[in-house]
Amino acid sequence: MPFSRYSSSMQAYLLVFFGAGLGGCLRHTVNLLAARALGTHFPWGTFLINVSGSLVMGLIAGFLAFRANEAWTPHVRLFTLTGILGGYTTFSAFSLDAALLFERGDLGLCAAYVGGSVALALAGVFGGLALMRALT
């Protein structure tokens, strides 16, 4: 593998790594602030993170689709979308995928994706909890 290809690949991983670190810190900050301001009876932090992350994903995806310029290089996209927003919330990527399926008219596939993702994710959490409960 030529060094330049390896270097470019390594640079992409580092951009995602540092972006995800920033996004994770932002997520932690929002969770703390939400708990202090709104209490912990309802998962307000996660709720606000998922909604705000999806809004930002939509804004950036729309900007890139309709008004993008040379400043939004693949590296900037990796750092921002995959890194920062990925560290902040993966729900934003899920929401964008669902919106794209919906917008291209694949309503059945969109419903299956949304319903299946939520149902199987919950089943995975409950299954993991049950397995660990049984093992301890």
**pTM for the predicted model, two decimal places:** 0.74
Quote the pLDDT of residue 3.
46
Residue 120 lies in a domain: no
Give the closest residue to 84 by CA, choosing from 7, 4, 3, 24: 24
Look at the chain and report how many structural domains it folds into. Answer: 1
> Considering the domain boundaries, does residue 59 fall inside one?
yes
Q: Determine, yes or no, domain membership for 78.
A: yes
Question: pLDDT of the chain along its 136 residues, tens only?
Answer: 454 555 688 999 999 999 999 999 999 999 999 999 999 999 899 899 999 998 998 898 888 877 777 778 889 889 998 999 999 987 888 898 899 999 999 999 999 999 999 999 899 889 988 899 898 8
